[in-house]
Each structure stands twice: as structure tokens, then as C-alpha cells.
Structure 1
């Protein structure tokens, strides 16, 4: 179980890192032109950059507390925050009719739920 939770947290961290870097450093106009990035055309630069920074923090929070042994309870807390973020992403993509992205975000949400339940429960550090 521990290995599965590490793999799940690592996968989510990679997704968060990729999304965070993209939203933080790629210009919003370029994001809006990309497949699945149309929603960025409807919001301001600050909002996109804030989401990017939150995703970078999520990437760190899903792995670093457990690796360092400092406040490992932050791993499941971060997973719960990721669930909230994915809920918002699903709503946003759903309103735009982007069902494939809703499904993808649902997969990420379920993985984060498994990490949260596992690390708060039987697989806690």
C-alpha cells in the first residue's frame, strides 16, 4: 500500500509541476490558444499565475514533507487541496463542454482521494 501511495503522490506531483510551470511561465495568450487552455482567455493573468503557483506548491506538498520527514501530514492535506482544485477544473471545463478534460480531472481527483484517504488512514507516515 505504501508503494502505491508513493506512486500516486508522485504522479500527481508530476502533473501539478507540469501544470504549475506552464501556468506560471507561459503567457496567457499562448495558453488560451492551446488545446484545453481556452478557459485562460476568460480570466485575468493574475488568476492564471495564482493557479500556477498553487500547483507548484501542490507538487512540493505531495512529496517533500514525506521525503524530508518534516510535517508529513501535509501530504494528505495537499491531496485534499488538490481535490478542491480538480473540482474547480471540472466545473470550468464542464461549462465549456470540454468533456475529455472533465474526465481527466476526475481521474486526478480520484487519485488524490486515494492519497488523502490512504495517508490519513492506514498508510499514514
Structure 2
């Protein structure tokens, strides 16, 4: 996994907030592309790093054309705070739900193509051995 150097990501803009983290859009100088930064939220840095490693290991195992790619890790500085981030592909249309709800008339052929790609990604994830997640 590629650790991006401090100050590598510029032009950061808030995309969405969620329970586990905040997502920003930014431009990586090292990668030479627009990326999504998932800033991990939490109160203890050890727990944050554990969650970051856990999620990054899962995403690294899930390498497939129809599964979002993890590109690296980054430390976002906010004053004296350093927040760990996952650096992922940026999807300009947002989530599939956001895209479909913003398009009132998606042609049936495109809907079928999207559904087919989702199924291929899910089939790949469910076929991984050992499984990504195991019940404990």
C-alpha cells in the first residue's frame, strides 16, 4: 500500500459525512489524479490505526474491476491533529444510489449494465477464499 507524503493531497473539498468517517475529494500530486480521502473518525489514535489497517487489508484483498480500489494511505493534518485516511478512487457521480436518484430516466440498457457490473463485483467478493469477513 502506497503511503502518500505529507502535503501530497491538495484542493480538498468535503464530499460527505458518515458514521465511520468523512470523505473529501482532493488532488494527489504523487498519483497525479483526483482521489477520494476517507478520514477515519474516532477518539483514540490506536483504535483509529487498527480500524484503518483492518479496512485497508480488506480493500487490498478485494482487487477487481468492479470493486472500488484502495490507492494508498495518507495522514491529513488539522492543526496539531493528524487524522489517518484511506486514499481511494474518486467516483465523480458519487454512490450508485446518488447517481440513480439524480437521473430521472436512466435507459434500461444502462440500468442492466450497472446491475450486471454490481453482480460481477459481488460474485467476486463472495467467492474470495478465505472470506473477507468471518463471524466471531
Which band: TM-score by shorter chain?
0.3 to 0.5
With normalisation by structure 2, the TM-score equals 0.33
Higher strand share: 2
Alignment TM-score, normalising by the size of structure 1: 0.35
Q: Which has the higher helix share?
A: 1
